[in-house]
Amino acid sequence: MCGIVGIYGEIKEPLLESMLKKIKHRGPDDEGTFFDGNVALGQVRLSIIDVEGGKQPIFSEDRSKCIVFNGEIYNYKELKGCLKKNHVFSTKTDTEIILHLYEDLGVNCVDKLDGMFTFIIYDKTEKNIFVARDRLGIKPLYCGTGKNTLFFSSEIKALSHCDKISAFPPGHYYTSGGGFVRYYSLPEYLFSGEGADIVPKKINEFLSKAVAKRLVSDVPVGVFLSGGLDSSVIAAIMKKENPVLHSFSVGMENSRDLDFAKEVAGYLDLKHHEYIYSRNDIMEVLPEVIYHLESFDAPLVRSAVPCFFVSQLAKKHGIKVVLTGEGADELFSGYHYLKEFNDNKKLFDELVRITYGLHSTNLQRVDRLTMANSVEARVPFLDIDFLTYVFSIPTELKLSSEYGQEKWLVRKAFQGYLPESVISRPKQKFSEGAGSINIMKDIAESLISDEEFEREKQITKDFQARTKEELYYYRIFHKYYPNPSVLDCIGITKYF
């Protein structure tokens, strides 16, 4: 896990170094750069796989190609077994696997990768760059332009010098000769025909495999535990694979998340850690949270605050890798507003839309706030095999109005894994369960008058702050990110 930057065009070495410095929090363990003509690549590294030998950039055997990479490839050992006869390996990393795959398969190498990733490969012979982002955009990547030069970075903050900034689209790759190409789309409206008697068993099987993949690491792996259904299920599966498991929970005094997390941790015999934060703590970290989050979307900022605290907690206890429960609500129709849908096709389309949008909402939050603390987050619910199966489940089985409670399929799939109080716990947003949602609304209400809100809420001709809270966050955001093109990168959460 790390941060990457790239320049294609007019190269200035101090500029590359400046870009890397702005994302150093993503990779405090190591740093590497490469310059050749009109191409410059850089990487800051958080060492997870091949801790001692994985320095980047990594080169091909004849040094005609090199790569910088951010992410984890969960099937890298299997791929290495297929590549061994054709290549000599200089490291034990998943990064080198991608480079050799590219040598053998060209741009089609992305189809073989099971994981979360962004990478830039430079082919010196062809004078070509190849840039790719994983199917769902779990790992971030942005593009910037200026003075006939193209820039890439894991975070917006490293592109402040650019004229225009945009998100590199998930499920796409880019070549300097051919531009952007889409290589992945979510499954279409086609169903397996399996019934309610079979589906929960399959969910258990696929998700258990997804968790097992994500335990591959050369450093300890922990879990973020809110005490909600999704994170608790992940913790329960992990515990079966890992007898000594550290869990982390945060909240305000007397918050529900702390109580439920403690109950789950006791039930599963986890090494549990918690942190209680206050209103003053929120006020103190809010500017830093928004700087790292790179968004002012109100629901996202609310949940980013506890995410920042829980990431700090994991780092304090020496954990570099955590698993989280993100993605379950999008796949299984977990949000309250989705209860309004009673048409299967419309619900399916909405689940596709919000799943595609995760890269600029909840996945952005998890990546930025964990990496702000040099912690890597992995998201088993968004495993591509699991996701493909879940989208084949008949949509009517996801209608809570028909079956009594949202995500009932997940609840049934893991009956007996957790206390009944957790299995039946209703959906709560992270900021609700942690107890900070109303505090943050009240802060904004106390600082912005009705007159100010009416005067300033129209941020651009196309975007209007929905509440005083969102306007308050925007004011902080704008100080860090004044370039108006950045607004095109902001994901807007539909549900409040």
Domain span holding position 280: 199-482
Which one of 149, 182, 215 terminates a domain?
182
Question: DSSP letter at 191?
Answer: -
- Whether 319 is in a domain gets the answer yes
159 and 254 part of one domain: no
258 and 127 part of one domain: no
Least confident span in 81-90, 124-133, 209-218, 307-316: 81-90
**How large a percentage of the chain has pLDDT more than 70?**
97
**Average pLDDT score, the chain:** 93
373 and 434 part of one domain: yes
Q: What share of the chain is helix, strand, coil (3-state, %, to 5)?
A: 45, 20, 35
Which of 391, 392, 418, 423 shows the shortest CA–CA distance to 405? Answer: 423
Considering its fold, how many domains does the chain have in total?
2
122 and 258 part of one domain: no
Active site residue 2: yes
Q: What is the pLDDT of residues 224-248, one digit of tens each?
A: 999 999 999 999 999 999 999 999 9
Q: What is the pLDDT of residue 195?
A: 83
Which of 107, 249, 172, 196 shows the shortest CA–CA distance to 404? Answer: 196
Q: What is the pLDDT of residues 401-416, one digit of tens each?
A: 556 788 999 999 999 9
- Whether 488 is in a domain gets the answer no
Q: What is the pLDDT of residues 247-291, one digit of tens each?
A: 999 999 988 899 999 999 999 999 999 999 999 999 999 999 999
158 and 241 part of one domain: no
Query: Which residue in the list 2, 109, 143, 489 is annotated as catalytic?
Result: 2
- Under the banding of pLDDT at 50, 70 and 90, the label for residue 303 is very high
174 and 232 part of one domain: no
Q: What is the largest CA-CA distance in the chain?
A: 71
171 and 208 part of one domain: no
- Under the banding of pLDDT at 50, 70 and 90, the label for residue 30 is confident
Least confident span in 49-58, 106-115, 275-284: 49-58
268: its two tokens = 């599963």
169 and 212 part of one domain: no
Q: What is the CATH number of the domain that holds 444?
A: 3.40.50.620
Q: What is the CATH number of the domain that holds 116?
A: 3.60.20.10
Residues 172 and 345 sit within 8 Å (Cβ to Cβ): no
- Whether 171 is in a domain gets the answer yes
Q: Dihedral, CA atoms, 209, 204, 398, 496, nearest 10 degrees?
A: -60
123 and 83 part of one domain: yes
**How large a percentage of the chain has pLDDT more than 90?**
77
Residues 483 and 160 sit within 8 Å (Cβ to Cβ): yes
Q: What is the pLDDT of residues 333-370, one digit of tens each?
A: 999 889 888 888 899 999 999 999 999 999 999 999 99
Strand extents, DSSP E, 294-441: 321-323, 376-378
